[in-house]
Structure 1
Amino acid sequence: MEDPKKVAFYTLGCKLNFSETSTIARSFKDEGFARVDFSEAADIYVINTCSVTDNADKRFKTIVKQAQKANENAFVIAVGCYAQLKPEELAAVDGVDMVLGATEKFKITNYLNDLTKNDMGEVHSCEIEEADFYVGSYSFGDRTRAFLKVQDGCDYKCTYCTIPLARGISRSDSLENVLENAKKISEKGIKEIVLTGVNIGDYGKGEFGNKKHEHTFLDLVKGLDTVEGIERLRISSIEPNLLKNETIDFVAQSKAFVPHFHIPLQSGSNEVLKAMRRRYMKELYVDRVTKIKEVMPDACIGVDVIVGFPGETDEYFIDTYNFLNELDISYLHVFTYSERENTPAAEMDAVVPLKVRKKRSKMLRGLSAKKRRAFYETQLGKTKTVLFEGENKEGYIHGFTENYVKVKTPWDPALVNTLHQVELQEIGEDGIVRFSYVEEKAVV
Structure 2
Amino acid sequence: MNRVHIKTYGCQMNERDSEAVAAMLRSRGYRIVADEDECDILLLNTCSVRDAAEQKAIGKAGYLQQRKKKQPDFVLGILGCMAQNRGASLLDQLPDVDLIIGTQKFHQVAGYLDNLRAAREAGVPIGQTIVDIAEEPGSQNTIKDHLVAGPDGADAAVADRQVTAFVSIQQGCNMDCAFCIVPKTRGDERSRPMDDIVAECRALAARGVREITLLGQIVTSYGRRDYVHTDGVTPFVQLLERVHAVDGIERIRFTSPHPRGFKDDLVAAYGRLPKLCGYVHLPMQSGSNRILRAMNRPYTRERYREIVEALRAVQPGMYFSTDVIVGFPGETEDDFRETCELFRACDFDMAYIFKYSIRTGTPAATLPDQVDEEVKERRNQELLAILEENSLRRTAALVGTVEQVLVDGRDKTGARLTGRTRGNRVCVFDGPAELIGQMVPLKITRATASTLYGDRG
Query: TM-score, normalised to structure 2's length?
Result: 0.87
Aligned counterparts of 1:68 and 1:257: Cα–Cα separation in 2: 48
Secondary structure of residue in 2 paired with 1:222: helix
Who is 1:88 aligned against?
88
Cα 1:411–1:353 change in 2 (3 A) is: farther
Assess if the C-alpha contact under 8 Å between 1:407 and 1:433 holds in 2: yes
CA deviations 1:136-173 (Å, max 9, x no partner) are 42556983321111110001110111100111111111
**2:336 pairs with one of 299, 317, 323:** 317
Per-residue deviation at 1:436? Answer: 3.4
8 Å CA contact retained: 2:24, 2:110: yes
Secondary structure of the 2:412 match is: coil
Q: Percent identity?
A: 26
Is 1:423 the counterpart of 2:443? The answer is yes
- In the alignment, what sits opposite 1:407? 427
How much does 1:295 deviate?
A: 1.2
Deviates more, 1:302-311 or 1:404-413: 404-413
| Residue number in structure 2 paired with 1:331 | 350
Aligned to 1:277: 296
* SS in structure 2 of the partner of residue 114 of structure 1: helix
Matches within 5 A, 1:96-245: 96-112=97-113, 113-115=115-117, 116=120, 121-126=129-134, 128=135, 133-137=139-143, 139=146, 143-205=162-224, 216-245=235-264
Instruction: Give the alignment partner of residue 364 of structure 1, picking from 383, 393, 416.
Output: 383
Moved more, 156-165 or 106-115: 106-115
- State yes or no: 1:303 paired with 2:304: no
Q: CA deviation at 1:120?
A: 6.0
The alpha-carbon distance between structure 1 residues 66 and 131, as it changes in their structure 2 partners (threshold 3 A), is: same
Whole-angstrom CA distance in 1 between matches of 2:229 and 2:25: 34
> Does structure 1 conserve the Cα–Cα contact (< 8 Å) formed by 2:220 and 2:258?
yes
* 1:25 maps onto 2:22 in alignment: yes
CA–CA distance in structure 2, aligned partners of residues 313 and 119 of structure 1: 53
The equivalent residue for 2:11 is: 14
Distance 2:17 2:450 in 1: 33
**Matched residues in 2 for 1:147 and 1:103: separation?**
18
Structure 1 residue 245: Cα displacement = 2.2
Query: Can you list the C-alpha shifts for 1:74-131, whole angstroms capped at 9, x where unaligned?
Result: 11121101101101233341541111123333222332313457686332221x5x55
Q: Rate the CA distance shift 1:136–1:283 in 2: closer, same or farther, 3 A.
A: farther
What residue in structure 1 maps to residue 78 of structure 2?
Answer: 78
Q: CA deviation at 1:414?
A: 3.4
Change over 3 Å in CA distance of 1:120–1:336 after alignment to 2: farther
Return 416-425 or 286-295, whichever deviates more: 416-425
3-state SS in 1 of match to 2:241? helix
> Which of 262, 269, 284 is the aligned partner of 1:265?
284
1:442 alignment counterpart: none
Unmatched segments (≥5 aa) in structure 2: 151-158
For the 8 Å contact 1:45–1:67, the answer to whether it is kept is no
Per the TM alignment, residue 133 of structure 1 is displaced from its structure 2 partner at its CA by 4.3
Q: Is contact 2:176-2:296 (8 Å) kept?
A: yes
Displacement after TM superposition at 1:329 (Å): 2.7
The one-letter amino acid paired with 1:114 is L
Aligned counterpart in structure 1 of residue 53 of structure 2, from 48, 51, 56: 56
Deviations 1:230-281 (A, max 9, x none): 1211122211110222222222232321100000000000000000000111
CA distance in 1, matches of 2:127, 2:410: 40
Contact kept in structure 1, 2:8 and 2:14, CA below 8 Å? yes
From the superposition, tell whether residues 361 and 31 of structure 1 become closer, same or farther in structure 2 (CA, over 3 Å): same
Instruction: Tell me, in whole angstroms, the C-alpha distance in 1 between the residues paired with 2:333 and 2:137.
Output: 40
Q: 1:378 to 1:296 in 2, by over 3 A?
A: farther
Residues of 2 paired with 1:173 and 1:213: CA distance? 17
Verify the 8 A CA contact 2:219 2:257 in the aligned structure 1. Answer: yes
Matches of 2:383 and 2:128, distance apart in 1:
43
Provide the C-alpha distance between the structure 2 equivalents of 1:242 and 1:11, rounded to a whole number of angstroms: 29
Structure 1, unpaired ranges of 5+: 439-444
Offset of 1:409 from its aligned partner?
1.7
**Aligned partners of 1:244 and 1:380: how far apart in 2?**
34
Q: Which of residues 363, 368, 371 is equivalent to 1:344?
A: 363
Matched-pair contact (CA < 8 Å) for 2:5–2:32: yes
Larger mean CA deviation between 181-190 and 102-111 belongs to 102-111
Kindly state the Cα deviation for residue 60 of structure 1 after the two structures are TM-superposed: 1.3
Q: Which amino acid aligns with 1:123?
A: V
* Aligned counterparts of 2:451 and 2:139: Cα–Cα separation in 1: 43
CA contact 2:288–2:301 (8 Å) conserved in 1: yes
Quote the offset at 1:406 in angstroms.
2.6
Aligned length: 429
- What secondary structure, in the 3-state scheme, does the structure 1 residue paired with 2:140 have? coil
Structure 1 residues 293, 69: CA separation in 2 closer, same or farther (over 3 Å shift)?
A: same
2:74 aligned partner, one-letter code:
A
- Checking the alignment, whether the CA contact within 8 Å between 1:136 and 1:149 is kept in structure 2 is no
In structure 2, give the amino acid aligned to 1:10: K
**How far apart, CA to CA, are the structure 1 residues paired with 2:396 and 2:269?**
27
78-87 vs 328-337, which moves further: 328-337
Query: One-letter code of the match for 1:134?
Result: Q
Q: Is the CA contact (8 Å cut-off) linking 2:406 and 2:438 kept in structure 1?
A: yes
Equivalent position amino acid for 1:87 in 2: G
Alpha carbon RMSD of aligned pairs, Å?
2.5
- The residue number in structure 2 matching 1:290 is 309
1:253 aligns with 2:254: no
Q: Which amino acid aligns with 1:390?
A: G
CA distance in 2: counterparts of 1:269 and 1:286, whole angstroms: 12
2:153 counterpart residue number:
none
Secondary structure of residue in 2 paired with 1:436: strand
Aligned-pair CA distance for 1:58: 1.6
The answer to whether the Cα contact below 8 Å between 2:429 and 2:455 also exists between their aligned partners in 1 is no
3-state SS in 2 of match to 1:134: helix
Greater than 6 Å deviation, 4+ residue runs: 210-215
Separation of aligned partners in 2, 1:280 and 1:16: 25
